[in-house]
Amino acid sequence: MGSSIEIFDTTGTPGGGPPPHRHAWEEAYVVLSGEMDVHLDGVTTRLSAGECAHVPANVAHGYTTIDATHFLTIVTKGNAAKFFEQAATEIEMNPPDIAGVLRVGAQNGIAFLV
């Protein structure tokens, strides 16, 4: 039996983060240290350590880390883990292969809005 949530422990780099996207599962960001801007349906909110943001399913969102931000990403059941596993083996990230990100995203229910 699979789990109903997935938790990803992440450390971002200054200016890092995904392009705007949406998917069928809910998501939350919990900042442990540093700061990040969360972009949610056209509104940007700055989060600092101890703060969190909820992203409803199917809402356009993304984030930008301000510094070496340490945060948790918590998602409800979906394909997030599968996307990250597939991306790690199939996509060149330096420099980023945007076509590969779009393809792997589409295969896992993530629509990048680029």
- Assigned token pair, 49: 């350590």
Task: Using 70 as the pLDDT threshold, list the residues of the chain that sit under it.
Answer: 1-3
pLDDT of residue 65: 97
pLDDT of residue 1: 47
If we measure between CA atoms, which residue out of 72, 80, 68, 71 comes closest to residue 107?
80
pLDDT of residue 86: 82
DSSP class of 6: E
| DSSP 3-state of 111 | strand
**List of domains in the chain:** 1-78 (2.60.120.10), 79-109 (no CATH)
